[in-house]
Structure 1
């Protein structure tokens, strides 16, 4: 792994390898889908301190993406069967694991890249509406091994920031400005600070292929 550190005027020290992987993942998404939705959100752990709790498991982020992929696949198939507008989508992503200031409790920052013709936005969270926001929150609860009944209570564990998404369209003249906006926001994931390696868990990952 390239351990070179570069400096950013906004975020400070960044891992160059992380920056390169982020840019590669965005590029692959655009190769697959000329119109791409780039969505940023955070995944938090509940206030539970128990060795059997899923949040302490290094595979929790893997379970999250597995569940989200399965839900997206089922959602597209369901729309097709109901003769609704549907498009296939790859599921590409970047994730980082960081710690709060005390360095005790981890959380995850996610960049999710999907076909904009499949999902143009996460939608407003509503347990009665099966949209992208619901699937993300549900996938995180499943990854944490929380009961389905906890979804309403624990939906806050998946958090969408202000203006969480950017649209990229290779056929639009504003592609470069949209890309630069996304790149700037995504560099936050590559920062050196807030990442710990002492527990042996991975701090960074991307989709493959």
Structure 2
């Protein structure tokens, strides 16, 4: 698949490049446009394992956060402050849901930018399945706003507020894109049970998309990958 196999990223020699399709016993998504970053794969595996240690079962899903197409390049696109605001609003939404069991959120995120003047974000979110086990309806209400109390509408409200919009007064397309299973092409989510290798393999494969070296603005003085630390 690859013609050359450098061991380190050319713009950051602390980042190790990984070319195999199996990482520590789990499948990863290798692409023709570049290898994975091993540091990020390791952090992803640690985060998935931590979620399963804390939760009896874990609800995992992948989403992409995108800015409106007609939005001009703004100062908010120069760093990851907008993403930090999204997580703050989203965690508040989870608390406000007042579920019987705590959500216990964990996450992975990656910043990427290819042919656009603005970046976008890839996320994997891990929640206690006893608190949340589905994303709910994606479409907005008939009036074009996102006021339902399901996970998807909570994420849309959080992302709109993070960008500075009034979430219950603005009409937007779905700027939170739920990632599809590359085989079935349906929105992907998975219930992870402890010691269920197949579910963990699938989750690691989906998480590895965040770990690819391609399109990450490495060397531009902006963080491109991180995870929850709790």
Name the TM-score, length of structure 2 as normaliser: 0.78
Partner of 1:107: 120
| 1:48 maps onto 2:71 in alignment | yes
Pick closer, same or farther for the CA change 1:200–1:2 going to 2, 3 Å.
closer
- CA distance in structure 2 between the aligned counterparts of 1:2 and 1:55, rounded to whole angstroms: 25
Match of 2:131 among 111, 115, 118: 118
| 1:58 maps onto 2:80 in alignment | yes
Partner of 1:133: 152
Does structure 1 retain, via aligned residues, the 8 Å contact 2:57–2:194?
yes
Instruction: Give the RMSD, CA atoms, in angstroms.
Output: 2.0
- CA distance in structure 1 between the aligned counterparts of 2:73 and 2:62, rounded to whole angstroms: 29
Question: Secondary structure, in 3 states, of the residue corresponding to 1:134?
Answer: helix
| 1:25 maps onto 2:39 in alignment | no
* Count of matched residue positions in the alignment of Structure 1 and Structure 2: 195
Identify unmatched segments of 5+ residues in structure 2. Answer: 1-12, 22-29, 141-145, 181-186
Match of 2:177 among 152, 155, 159: 159
Question: Secondary structure, in 3 states, of the residue corresponding to 1:45?
Answer: coil
Does structure 2 retain, via aligned residues, the 8 Å contact 1:2–1:16?
no
| 1:90 maps onto 2:104 in alignment | yes
- CA distance in structure 2 between the aligned counterparts of 1:23 and 1:66, rounded to whole angstroms: 24
Describe the superposition over 1:62-96 as per-residue Cα deviations: whole angstroms up to 9, x where unpaired. 111111111101112xx5xxxxxx21121100000
- CA distance in structure 2 between the aligned counterparts of 1:154 and 1:44, rounded to whole angstroms: 12
- CA distance in structure 1 between the aligned counterparts of 2:153 and 2:59, rounded to whole angstroms: 17
Pairwise CA distance, 1:55: 4.3
- CA distance in structure 2 between the aligned counterparts of 1:147 and 1:55, rounded to whole angstroms: 19
Identify unmatched segments of 5+ residues in structure 1. Answer: 80-85
Question: Secondary structure, in 3 states, of the residue corresponding to 2:71?
Answer: coil
| 1:5 maps onto 2:20 in alignment | no
Pick closer, same or farther for the CA change 1:139–1:106 going to 2, 3 Å.
same
Q: Structure 1 or 2: larger helix share? A: 1
Pairwise CA distance, 1:128: 4.3
